Amino acid sequence: MINEKFKINLQGKTYITYEGLLDLAHQKGLQSVEVDIIQFPNIDNNMTAICKATIMTKDEKFVDIGDASPKSVNNSLIPHIIRMASTRAKARALRDLTNVGMTAVEELSFEEGIEEEEESYEADLPTQRQLETLKKLAADSNYKIDYKSLTKQSAGNLIGKLIEDRKNRS
């Protein structure tokens, strides 16, 4: 069973965190996690990294890939494209192992995860969904947020940062 602390709601959909998948995988006897870089980011491939993850238990092996590019991650994660591709690959393979159909929040591209209605994004106030997600993430990490100064864009960037910080604490 998935602990509620490992679920995040974005735009009315529930996602599991990488941390939650790893927790479930350990319950199912996870023995190893290996990642291979299939494609290094460069100008010719639009700075897209592709990684392959192999997850093993005593009796089973699960393999999947993940990709990341500057277009699919939050601005603060652009310098970490390879790590993001690795995390996405591991999340996909862990979902197979744990039989979780719910998408991992780390698998989302920036646009999928936190894009809102097409309006003047930079100056608009954050949406209610962004605020709810920020409150949950901030509470989990004891992070203080000045909600009065947030815009849709800064809220989206902060959500990405808090998710990455949460993953790094695991």
The 10s digit of each residue's pLDDT in 17-26 is 999 999 999 9
Is residue 142 in a domain? no
CB 113 within 8 A of CB 163: no
Is residue 64 in a domain? yes
Is residue 162 in a domain? no
According to DSSP, residue 104 is labeled: B
Is residue 113 in a domain? yes
Residues 6+ apart with CB under 8 A from 4: none
The 10s digit of each residue's pLDDT in 59-86 is 999 999 999 998 888 888 888 999 999 9
Is residue 168 in a domain? no
Q: How far apart are CA 42 and CA 19, in angstroms?
A: 29
Total domains present in the chain: 1
Q: What is the CATH number of the domain that holds 81?
A: 3.30.160.20
Is residue 140 in a domain? no
Burial class (CB in 10 A: 0-12, 13-18, 19+), 16: buried
Is residue 150 in a domain? no
Range of the domain at 10: 4-120
Is residue 130 in a domain? no
The 10s digit of each residue's pLDDT in 35-48 is 999 999 999 998 99
- Residue-level pLDDT at 123: 55
- Residue-level pLDDT at 47: 93
